[in-house]
């Protein structure tokens, strides 16, 4: 697979690369991230490789991420390898509040959404947004209001498609139902945290997305970098790095995942990060993985994950090491498939006979 093996995003005609460039690292306004020179190198390399999907948000680096992207596309001559703005799929998000002490500065209310869209268009120096995400769930706003306001933006031409990021499965389902009821555009994509170290989304969110035809774009595919293998059981964080938020995820279970990643990486002549990314790209429903990079070398390594081949045995080892107990009733229902299948294979899934089922006509009443 290559970055130019484009896929349609969910139940839509929008073609995107299998890896999306996350722009949260563009800018140093949060005290970390990339300076302009590095961000330019990262963006240009992604585009030169044929990538066409860029993801940002109004609140990333206090708005600078959007402003940087807007200036980049507005201030240079386009070539075949460096396409103009209208040849890329530009995604951004609303919901985060950019205005201190303004209760309408954020959220999913009509006033906030329309204002946020106008501000993003200004920073991005564009007339339209290809994919507009509801960044997270606003529990204080009726979903009907958000769905209708987004549809108005689509009908006005300022937004092409809409998606949901970090919303519960039942809220996503409700939004899709409302979109149909209101004859509004449906939500084509779902952005959620998903990785070998975060598989609880396989309980409700992933099946929901597949059911409604939402392409999934996972964020934090390396769980803040811990799945890169930079830390192991014998190489713990130093005092200088111990307080980083991602290091709270260095549990015994995740060390077991890291052990397996390192072992398989050696077998596949790859890096642990590439193995983790390739595993994720092969999960049902995943359309495009959002990868961020503070350095060009990180981007190059991550993009090469698409070229890695994993055997069924290696995939099974990763599945086993990272397996999680899902919330009720998902594990319960999964384990009771033996009571449904009757010892047969259904859609390629073989189950042993249920030990409590009748063995023959004499045992069946």
Query: Which pLDDT does position 124 carry in this prediction?
Result: 98
Interval 9-64: pLDDT, tens = 999 999 999 999 999 999 999 999 999 999 999 999 999 999 999 999 999 999 99
Q: What pTM, to 2 d.p., does this model score?
A: 0.92
Residues of the chain with pLDDT under 50: 242-243
Query: Which pLDDT does position 80 carry in this prediction?
Result: 56
- 21 vs 30, 96, 116, 202, CA distance in Å? 19, 20, 22, 24
Size of the chain in residues: 365
Distance CA(84)–CA(226), nearest Å, equals 35
Query: Which pLDDT does position 243 carry in this prediction?
Result: 44
Catalytic residues: 60
Nearest to 197 by CA among 233, 250, 243: 250
| Residue in the block written with tokens 């991005």 | 124
Domains observed in the chain: 7-324 (3.20.20.100), 328-365 (no CATH)
Cis-peptide, bond into residue 3, ω within 30° of zero: no
Cβ atoms of residues 176 and 186 within 8 Å: yes
Instruction: Note the maximum CA span of the chain.
Output: 81
Interval 77-88: pLDDT, tens = 666 566 789 999
């Amino acid at each position: 697979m290559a970055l130019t093996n484009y896929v349609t995003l969910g139940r839509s005609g929008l073609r995107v690369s299998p890896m999306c460039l996350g722009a949260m690292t563009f800018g140093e306004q949060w005290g970390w991230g990339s300076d302009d020179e590095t961000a330019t190198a990262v963006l240009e390399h992604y585009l030169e490789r044929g990538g066409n999907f860029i993801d940002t948000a109004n609140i990333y680096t206090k708005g600078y991420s959007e402003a940087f992207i807007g200036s980049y596309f507005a201030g240079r001559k386009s070539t075949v390898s460096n396409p103009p703005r209208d040849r890329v799929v530009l995604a951004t998000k609303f919901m985060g509040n950019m205005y201190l002490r303004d209760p309408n500065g954020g959220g999913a209310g009509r006033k906030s959404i329309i204002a946020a869209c106008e501000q993003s268009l200004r920073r991005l120096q564009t007339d339209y947004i290809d994919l507009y995400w509801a960044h997270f769930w606003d529990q204080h706003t009726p979903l009907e209001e958000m769905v209708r306001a987004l549809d108005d933006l689509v009908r006005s031409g300022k937004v092409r498609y809409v998606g949901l990021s970090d919303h519960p499965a039942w809220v996503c389902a409700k939004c899709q139902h409302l979109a149909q009821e209101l004859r509004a555009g449906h939500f084509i994509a779902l952005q959620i945290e998903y990785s070998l170290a975060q598989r609880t989304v396989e309980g409700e969110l992933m099946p929901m997305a597949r059911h409604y035809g939402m392409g999934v774009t996972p964020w934090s595919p390396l769980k803040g970098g811990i799945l890169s293998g930079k830390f192991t059981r014998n190489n713990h964080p130093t005092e200088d790095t111990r307080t980083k938020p991602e290091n709270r995820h260095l549990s015994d279970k995740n060390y077991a995942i890291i052990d397996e990643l390192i072992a398989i990486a050696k077998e596949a002549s790859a890096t642990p990060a590439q193995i983790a990314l390739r595993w994720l790209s092969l999960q049902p429903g995943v359309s495009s993985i959002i990868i961020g990079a503070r350095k060009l070398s990180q981007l190059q390594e991550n993009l090469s994950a698409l070229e890695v081949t994993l055997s069924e045995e290696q995939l099974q080892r990763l599945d086993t090491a990272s397996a999680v107990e899902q919330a009720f009733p998902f594990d319960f229902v999964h384990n009771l498939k033996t009571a449904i299948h009757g010892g047969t294979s259904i859609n390629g899934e073989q189950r042993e006979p249920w030990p409590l089922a009748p063995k023959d006509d004499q045992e069946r009443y």
